[in-house]
Structures are given as C-alpha cells and as structure tokens.
Structure 1
Amino acid sequence: MNIYADRANYYDLLFQYICTDYHDEVVKSLFPIIRDFNNIVEIGVGTGLIAERVLKLKPNCNFTGIDISKQMLDLAKKRLGNKIKLVESIQK
C-alpha cells in the first residue's frame, strides 16, 4: 500500500494553508530555469500545488505531473482539471 494513500487530504491541507510561502518560493527559484520551456514534467506532483503556481506564470505550457499516489493525483485533478496531464507511476 502506498504510504500517501491515507495522508493525501492531510498533506494537501497542511501545505495549502499552513506552508503557503513554501510553494511560492519553490516556483520563484525554479522560474528562471523553466521560463523558456513549454514542456514541463514534475515528478512527485502530489496534489498539484506547485503545478498550480507554475501554470499561473506559464498558462500555455504542456505540464505533466507524475506521482505514485492515486489519492494525491485525485486531489491534483480536482485542483487543476484538464490543465495538466496526470500520470500515476507504478510503485515496485
């Protein structure tokens, strides 16, 4: 069983409302690297909090998010709809 399966909602609430500056700082540090690229892949996309911020800065990019947790990806799908492609990785 994936360790994030029962923690997805808690994780999302924690990072969405308590650690609000964290994701902004991550995207701020990444943007000089990704600004010239239209295809972006985030490994460990989780609930899509970083992807959401990247898409505000680059709304027309092709964004793919990969995660091992279906529950995390379900929350990312709720957050982002069809703005990004979400892929569940198989955990071995």
Structure 2
Amino acid sequence: MRRTSLKNDHENPVQKEYAQLAQKYDDKWRFYVEETLLETLKRVEIHAGERLLDVGCGTGALLEAIDKLCPDAVLSGIDPTQEMLDIAGKRLPKKIYIAQSWASNLPFETETFDVVVFCSMFHYIRDPIIALKEVTRVLKPAGRIVITDWCDDYITCQLCDLFLRAFNKAHFRTYKKRECHHFLLSSGFDDIKIDSYKINWFWGMMTATARKKALVK
C-alpha cells in the first residue's frame, strides 16, 4: 500500500460540494444512482478472488452491489471526500478497504487490481490522461477498466455541461465517445468498446470497457 497525503480541503470545489451533499446524496440521486449502477454492473466482469477498485466510490453503493454479486472478490474504493467515505464505511462490510484519495495519485502498489471502475465521476477529472495512466499503473497486465459517465454526444448533456461549467466549480467537463476512446487508447488500453444510452429523457450516458495492453508498464 502506498501512502498519500490527501486531507479534507473544503476550499477544493469537489470536496466542498460533496461534504455538503453527503448526508442527502443517496436520497437526492436515488433514481440516477440505481440506473447507472445497473448499466455499470452489466459490464463489470468480476470473479472470485479478483481485486477490484472503485475510483470515486462515494457512499459505497457500487461496492455494496458488487459485493452482493461476487462476495469472494477483494474490493477497494477511493474518494476525495471524507464525508462520503464516512457513509460508505457505515454501509459496507469491514473487509472492503476504502481510502481518501484522488484518481491521479492512487494509494496502491503497481499491478494490484484486475478491474478498475469509474462510475459517474469522470466529468470531475481535470486531466483524464494522468488519471488513466495511474489506473494503468495499478492494473495487472490485461486488467479491465469500466467507465460510466455522462455522454456529450447527447444535446441534453451538452446543455448540462455548459450550465455546470458556468455555475458549478466542482464540474470540469463531459466528453464524447470519440474523446473517451482517445483517452483510453493514449493511456495504454485496447479492446475498447463504448456503449451510449439514455436512462430517461434527460440523462444521456455512456459506458466504456477496455483492457490494459499486456506490455504496458
């Protein structure tokens, strides 16, 4: 396990927003979370004994669902906001390791995980290539990545993105399928597949899956 020095910084817009939202997050976003988790779980291949990392695990809903589907998998999660992790710690069994960290500096040794998942947090990442190369580092050869996030190919998400860029400092930007494909290819992944879909009239989503190239270090 590598050490990180991340602490709560309520001047950071992401940590500030989710520190305030943590207690009501699950109720406020219940429909969205349930639907995006279902789509993500359809594409997560996890087997007994394999190690999975949830990047931006929030209150632990995805980890809880994966633990029920595959209780013999070894699960971990990171999130930058301690208040969200406090809730995750109460809902998840003690065997699941959670830690406060940014995606760009994961507190794990090289080639630790078989699967890494991002669910609804990619639009907060300031430099996707740096984050994905860090994921490449912690994935085993041929390890899998799953990314579910808003899809900028939909006009509703384009409008939402423009609004949030103007009025929400925590938000960074949404991406099109071709941009996500480029990020993954540039970060050492192949076998890239990206599905786009809507979970209701407003939310246009995409889920990308890929594998770390066997020779990437």
The bucket for the TM-score relative to the shorter chain is 0.7 to 0.9
- Residue identity in the other structure for 1:28: K
CA offsets 1:30-72 (integer angstroms, 9 cap, x no match): 23xx347611111100001111111111101111100001011
- Segments of structure 1 that go 5 or more residues without pairing to the other structure are none
Whole-Å separation in 1 of the counterparts to 2:18 and 2:72:
30
**Bigger share in strand:** 2
Q: 2:42 aligns with which of 17, 24, 28?
A: 28
- Segments of structure 2 that go 5 or more residues without pairing to the other structure are 1-9, 103-217
**Equivalent in the alignment of 1:11:** 25
Structure-to-structure mapping, 1:31-50, within 5 angstroms: 31=45, 34-35=46-47, 38-50=50-62
Whole-Å separation in 2 of the counterparts to 1:60 and 1:83:
10
**Equivalent in the alignment of 1:56:** 68
Whole-Å separation in 2 of the counterparts to 1:36 and 1:62:
8
Whole-Å separation in 2 of the counterparts to 1:30 and 1:37:
15
- Answer with 1 or 2: which has the greater Rg: 2
The CA deviation at 1:12 is 1.8
**Equivalent in the alignment of 1:87:** 99
Instruction: Report the aligned-residue RMSD.
Output: 1.8
Whole-Å separation in 2 of the counterparts to 1:41 and 1:81:
15
Percent of aligned pairs with the same amino acid:
33
CA offsets 1:66-91 (integer angstroms, 9 cap, x no match): 0001011011111103031010116x
CA contact (8 A) 2:49 2:74 kept: no
Q: Return closer, same or farther for 1:55/1:27 CA change in 2, 3 Å cut-off.
A: same
Q: TM-score, normalised by structure 1?
A: 0.81
**Bigger share in helix:** 1
Whole-Å separation in 2 of the counterparts to 1:44 and 1:28:
19
The one of the two structures with greater contact order (alpha-carbon pairs below 8 A, sep at least 6) is 1
